[in-house]
Amino acid sequence: MLVTIEGIDGSGKSTLHKTLGPYLADLDPVITCEPGSTWIGEAVRRAIREHADPIAEALLFVADHAAHLREVIRPALSEDRLVISDRYIDSRLVYQQVTLDGIIPDPLTWLRAVHHGWTIMPDLTILLAVPVPVALERTGKRESGEHFEQESVLTKVQEYYMELVEEDTARFLILDGTLPPEHILRVAGEVIRFRYDEMNRKKKKKY
Ligand SMILES: Nc1ncnc2c1ncn2[C@@H]1O[C@H](COP(=O)(O)OP(=O)(O)O)[C@@H](O)[C@H]1O
Ligand SMILES: Cc1cn([C@H]2C[C@H](O)[C@@H](COP(=O)(O)OP(=O)(O)O)O2)c(=O)[nH]c1=O
């Protein structure tokens, strides 16, 4: 089962992701992330740092995703493992919708077409929602400000995430990212456990 964690910068994804591994240790989950689960992640980081051309940057994120699928996601899913990824396809659908605006006509259609036919859609996506000012206050404490971490970008990104939810409500679980981290961990952890058990029960029934 593939679970992804999404949200704007500063929404608390990494905090949740780090603690889910130990919380669900009995399920032996594969804990992974985008960008950066393969060497292509280094190129992505450089593109972000050096404000590369937005199309080049978008395609590097896609290249990182392709390598991630081949090296981590597909092998783990083929063994029926539980995979939990900090960011995944939706990050591209929302962030690159912003960065490609005015550069490519209809960026969302283009982004979907680029992924079409080879990506694997998540079974469950946990979206951490926090007001943009709270996220900015949190990320403002970081030493390296990235070019995505601006109010105008994050406001659009949050809006686009909500549009994705409206299109596919069954896939998303929205959690209030301003709640205490232990509370978020318990809800996310128990929902993942329930869904994973349910999937395994259904599989057993088939045999
Ligand atoms: N639920 C929470 N409540 C308060 N602060 C949080 C919470 N989750 C994370 N933080 C803090 O906010 C900052 C950003 O969190 P992080 O997990 O790195 O976010 P992201 O990975 O989404 O950018 C960190 O300093 C972290 O300690
Ligand atoms: C995976 C992905 C990330 N990003 C952006 C979101 C982040 O601002 C940045 C780095 O991602 P990440 O390392 O997850 O940062 P954070 O922990 O702050 O959320 O890259 C995209 O623009 N497109 C993508 O496809």
8 labeled binding residue: yes
- For residue range 70-104, what is the model confidence (pLDDT) as tens digits? 999 999 999 999 999 999 999 999 999 999 999 99
For range 47-70, the mean pLDDT: 96
Distance 197 CA to ligand 2 centre (A): 30
At which residue do the structure tokens 């128990």 appear?
190
Low-confidence winner among 12-21, 42-51, 67-76, 180-189 (lowest mean pLDDT): 42-51
205 labeled binding residue: no
106 labeled binding residue: no
DSSP 31: E
Looking at the chain, the whole-number percentage of residues with pLDDT higher than 70 is 97
Ligand 1 binding pocket includes 4 (Cβ within 6 Å): no
For range 27-31, the mean pLDDT: 98
At residue 51 the predicted structure's pLDDT band, cuts being 50, 70 and 90, is very high
Rounded Cα distance between 198 and 77, Å, is: 16
Is pLDDT of 53 > 80? yes
What's the confidence (pLDDT) of residue 128?
98
Residues 1, 196 contacting (CB under 8 angstroms): yes
Rounded Cα distance between 85 and 35, Å, is: 10
Which ligand places an atom closest to the C-alpha of 128? 1
What is the distance in angstroms between the CA of the first residue and the CA of the last residue of the chain? 18
21 labeled binding residue: no
Ligand 1 binding pocket includes 7 (Cβ within 6 Å): yes
Ligand 1 binding pocket includes 140 (Cβ within 6 Å): no
Is pLDDT of 186 > 80? yes
Rounded Cα distance between 172 and 6, Å, is: 10
Output the average pLDDT for the chain.
95
For range 178-183, the mean pLDDT: 98
The larger pLDDT score, comparing residue 113 to residue 206, is at 113
Residue of 49, 90, 91 to test ligand 2 pocket, by largest number of atoms within 8 Å of CB: 91
Residue of 95, 97, 142 to test ligand 2 pocket, by largest number of atoms within 8 Å of CB: 95
What's the confidence (pLDDT) of residue 142?
61
What's the confidence (pLDDT) of residue 146?
66
Distance 7 CA to ligand 2 centre (A): 10
- For residue range 94-146, what is the model confidence (pLDDT) as tens digits? 999 999 999 999 999 999 999 999 999 999 999 999 999 999 999 985 644 56
